[in-house]
Structure formats: structure tokens, C-alpha cells
Amino acid sequence: MVGSRSISARSKRLLLVQKTPASDLGANSIPPHRGAFILVVSHTIQIVWFKRDLRTLDHAALSNACKSGPVLPLFLVERRMLRAPDCSSLHWNFISEALNELRDSLRKMGLPLLVLNEDVVSAFTHLLSAYGKIVIHCHEETGNAISFERDRCVRNWTREQGIELIEYPQNGVIRGLRNRDGWSRKWNERMNAQIIPIPKSTKAPDLRITGVSLPSSTDLEINQEFGYENKLFGGEKAAHELLDSFLETRSKGYEKLMSSPISAPHHCSRLSPYLAWGCISSKVVVQATRARVAELKAEKGGLSSEGPRPRSLTSFLSRMHWRCHFTQKLEMEPQIEFSCFNRSLDNLRSRTPNANLLEAWRSGQTGYPFVDACMRYLRAHGWINFRMRAMLVSFAAYDLWLDWRLIKDFLAQTFIDYEPGIHISQLQMQSGTTGINTLRIYNPVKQGMDHDPKATFIRQWVPEVARLSISEIHDWGTDNFLRPTVDYPHPIVDHAEAVRLARQRFREIRTNANYKSDSEKVRQLHGSRKRATNRPRKPARR
């Protein structure tokens, strides 16, 4: 039985149709990091260390801890991570909202949420001193270099202390892979595993350490450059409500409407921040979506005019697969946070930015109305749809010739759904530094005409040009229009010339033997096995 009102009826139905109890770790379940579930004596305190898994449904660490003895849920306010250049108050505010709801959900189970504001190893040292015997349960995490180092330090400390550390997978990212052979099959096995129900009431130990209240982003001195409007509210309940509304109605036309910044906010799932911070699991989303596809196919052959069609949700499922596909790249090669996939491209672009170009791009003052509208929208909301993110990166990479590492942290701070593996992989793909992908060069004028044909979005976010006609707005970035005197910059670069030079530079470096050998290494390690690697891919029209 599900023990929280925050879980939707659709998720409850998924639990009811499971053939075997999810509490039994069988062949279809996600096992602990070292294999079988480990039973420990009752007086050993089971610490559940919450990180990017701020939920109670489908939480292997919480479920198995509750079967082992007194449980102490723990969240650590990690100042080093929160003050890192890829973090902002946007992230912490979302996390805080999710933590407040998590605390309420745990309280219904009879458990407190202990919040400590100290270094990870120091916190566990104090807990060991207070309780004598502890076991640490947590989910695996594929994060930035800071989180990688933190987890390594915790593993070393637990080995030195003789403490059991049990790490559980929570998505389709697989540790220890040497290549991508068979990865999609393993991903499907993970997604088909039993959904783990919320544990029933369980015993909590006496609190022997005083926790702290959640500090504000100001108290933590986190980057607060941006003020956001209408952002999504963190927490498990909001995640399930969004999933339900997407599957029931909002996904209608998803595969077409997700590309425009006008229609995408409603027709995209908007689950990305909830998946990034673990308010809902990938498995729950995938299984609920598959169940909805089956329902739609059974209803009038899936041709209902009122609701979504199976094709829309199938398109969404492919993106759930992509999430783990891109995160797997960082899991297998952590160096890509700092180096190009293809190492021969590390010095292709200067690491010293043209400050004027970088600032114009960051502030939405490039003189390309659609680019600037998208950047301003992103800075106001902390979210924009995927195609517009790709265009912003493409413009920085090819039109302004900026290295992806110069824009990495700024965009990370700005994306409420920042997830390092996806972020870094996509930045490099859109910048052309993987060595195995087609150059993704977007024409900013064409993108505006395709996805904002009436210039409605541009007029809202670039009011400087609002009084101009549609053709005048779209022609602003071309030679077809003599620009009137308005308080808006002329284009800071010529798109056609910038792209010509970019293509020329790539043609030159691709003749280098190191480039070819490095590209083959990337293909063998990271290339998708769903399509033959020697099959040429037609360049997309953008």
C-alpha cells in the first residue's frame, strides 16, 4: 500500500499491477551495488543519505534500510557543492522545496529528516561517534567532479572504519561499463524492474545529534544572479501531478509542439527538474508512460481526438532513454567535464573569451531577436525547451566561436534541471567537439521564422522591436532590411560569414590523423549501438 497522499492515482495503479511484492529483491529488481540485500542487526542504525533522490516512492535505499533496523534519514547541506560555479539559488530553492515535502512524507512514516550543515566525512564521523554502529544506504550519483571526489572520500572513509556502504542504482546509468555494447538492453531491464512502494511506518532511533533548519540561499552565499518567474515548485507531489497531466492531455501533439518556445512550456512534460533532483524516478515515468500508450491503443485504436496519440508518448519515451544515454557518457568518462570528447579539439577554440561577445550572448543583446528572446526567457524562467537550448549553444559555438567550457557554468546556473551528464554531453555535441556527430549549426533567423512566425514571442521578450512589423523583426538579422532607429543592437556578427569560417576550421582539423583516431575512440566508447556506426547520417536542415 502506498502511504503518502503525494503519489498520484496513476502511480498507485502501477504498484497494484506488479505481479510480485516490490519489497522482494528478485531478478527483475534493482539490486544493491554489491549484489544481494544485506541484513544487519537491529541495533545498527540504518542511515539513508538523500542526495539527488528526494522522494519516497521507488527509493531502494529507503526501502531496504527500513527492513534492516532503526532508520535515520539524512540530508547534508554541502556548501562546497552549492557554492561551486555550476550552482545557483535556483537549484537550492527547488531542492529546499522538495526537502520540506520529503520531511513531511517521512514524518508520516514515523521518521525524522536530519539536516546537517557540515562536510560529508565530518558528518558521518559524528554519526558514528553518536550511535556506535551504522550502515549507510544511498543511491549512486553521476555528478560533477566535486560530487565524484566526495563519493570517493566517503568510500575510503567507510573502508577505513569498517562501515557498510550500500549504493543502489536509481536509473539506467550503469557503473563499470567499458563500452556501450548491450547498454540499451540493460536500460530496458532497469526500466522494467518492480516499482518499490513507499515503506510503511518504521522505527526511528533516538536523535543524538541536533540538526539544523534549511538555510536560505543568501545564508549559504550561493550565486543569485538571476530572478526567476513562474518557476516549477520542487517536490514529489508536483512531479506526479505533472506526469499525470502530461499523460492525460498535455502531451497531445508533443512531437510537433515541443520545438517552439511558445507551445513547449505547456506541451513538454516539464518533468526534467524533478528527474534531475530525484523527486520522481525514471522507472516510474517510463512505466506510467508505457501503460498510457497501451491505454490509448486500446481506445479507438489510439485515434481519439481529445487526448494524446501513442506516437507522442513514444517520442517522449525515446527522450527518457536519451537522458540515461547522455549521463552514461559522463559516468564512463568523467574527464569530459573538462576536456573535449575528441581530445584533438581541445584547443580548437580559445579558452580566453571575447568578453564583449560573451556578455552580449549572456545578456540577450546579440542583435538577433529570436536568440535574444530565448536567452531572456531562459534567464527569467530557468527553463526553455531543448531545441532553443541547442540554438543558444550553437550560436555561441559557431557564430561567436566561444569554447563550450566558457558557457558551461553560466548555463548550468540558469537551468533548473541541470544534470551534469546531460549538460556536458549536450554542450559538446552542439559545439561539435564529440568528433562523431554532425555539426549542429542553427540559422537564428530561420529558427525564428519557423518557431515564432508571428514574432509574438520576440515582441514579448525583446520589447525594443515590438513596434516593428513581422518581416522587419525577422529580417533584423539579415541584409534584407534597413534597420530603423530603435534601442536595440545591430547583429554583433554576420551569421553567414561566421558559419563559413567555422566550417572551414572544422574541415581543416578533420584532416589531422589524431582527429580521426580520437573520433574512433569516442565512437567505440560512447557511440550508440542502436544504429550501425558506419552508416552515414544525413545532415539535418536547420
The answer to whether residue 184 is domain-embedded is yes
pLDDT band per the 50, 70, 90 thresholds, residue 201: confident
- As a three-state string, the secondary structure of 258-269 is CCCCCCHHHHCC
Of the candidates 313, 283, 284, 315, which has an alpha carbon nearest to the alpha carbon of residue 296? 313
CATH number (domain holding residue 261): 1.25.40.80
What's the rounded mean pLDDT across residues 344-357? 96
Q: Is the pLDDT of residue 440 over 50?
A: yes
Domain identity same for 432 and 479: yes
Cell triple for 346: 581541445
Q: Is the pLDDT of residue 71 over 70?
A: yes
The answer to whether residue 479 is domain-embedded is yes
Domain identity same for 170 and 248: no
CATH number (domain holding residue 419): 1.10.579.10
Contact 116, 77 (CB under 8 A): yes
pLDDT of residue 232: 86
What's the rounded mean pLDDT across residues 108-112? 96
Domain identity same for 99 and 169: yes
pLDDT band per the 50, 70, 90 thresholds, residue 16: low
Domain identity same for 383 and 283: no
Of the candidates 169, 207, 94, which has an alpha carbon nearest to the alpha carbon of residue 102? 94
**Nearest 5°: CA angle at 455, between 452 and 460?**
110
Domain identity same for 287 and 423: no
Under DSSP, is residue 44 helix (H, G, I), strand (E, B) or coil? Answer: coil
Lowest mean pLDDT among 13-22, 34-43, 472-481, 527-536: 34-43
Domain identity same for 346 and 316: no
pLDDT band per the 50, 70, 90 thresholds, residue 457: very high
Domain identity same for 342 and 328: no
pLDDT of residue 223: 85
pLDDT of residue 529: 73
The H or E element that residue 498 is part of is helix 495-509
Containing domain of residue 268, as a range? 236-332
Q: How much of the chain, in percent, has pLDDT values that exceed 90?
A: 81
Lowest mean pLDDT among 45-59, 163-177, 289-303, 318-332: 289-303
Domain identity same for 143 and 255: no
Indicate the average pLDDT of the chain: 90
The answer to whether residue 282 is domain-embedded is yes
Task: Encode pLDDT of 475-486 as tens digits.
Answer: 986 666 566 678
Domain count, the chain: 3
Pairing assessment for the beta strands 134-139 and 164-168 based on DSSP bridges? parallel
Q: How many residues does the chain have?
A: 542
What's the rounded mean pLDDT across residues 165-192? 96
Domain identity same for 397 and 519: yes
The answer to whether residue 90 is domain-embedded is yes
What's the rounded mean pLDDT across residues 55-72? 98
Q: Is the pLDDT of residue 40 over 60?
A: no
Lowest mean pLDDT among 101-115, 283-297, 527-541: 527-541
Domain identity same for 467 and 482: yes
The answer to whether residue 260 is domain-embedded is yes
Of the candidates 218, 6, 241, which has an alpha carbon nearest to the alpha carbon of residue 93? 218
**In whole angstroms, how far apart are CA 154 and each of 122, 160, 175, 273?**
10, 10, 17, 26
The answer to whether residue 287 is domain-embedded is yes
pLDDT of residue 37: 29
**In whole angstroms, how far apart are CA 307 and each of 11, 158, 258, 313?**
19, 52, 16, 11
The answer to whether residue 202 is domain-embedded is no
The answer to whether residue 507 is domain-embedded is yes
pLDDT of residue 538: 46
Place of cell 506541451: 267
pLDDT of residue 539: 45
Q: List all residues 6 or more positions away from 311 whose beta carbon is below 8 Å from its beta carbon.
A: 255
The H or E element that residue 184 is part of is helix 183-191
Task: Encode pLDDT of 275-285 as tens digits.
Answer: 999 999 999 99
What's the rounded mean pLDDT across residues 447-461? 98
Q: Write the burial class of residue 19 (CB in 10 Å: 0-12 exposed, 13-18 middle, 19+ buried).
A: exposed
pLDDT of residue 33: 35
Domain identity same for 35 and 92: yes
Look at residues 332, 364, 385 and tell me which one is the last residue of a structural domain: 332
> CA–CA separation, 8 vs 127, rounded Å?
35
Cell triple for 298: 486500446
pLDDT of residue 43: 81
Domain identity same for 363 and 282: no
Look at residues 162, 191, 220 and tell me which one is the last residue of a structural domain: 191
CATH number (domain holding residue 182): 3.40.50.620
Place of cell 524533478: 274
Contact 101, 235 (CB under 8 A): yes
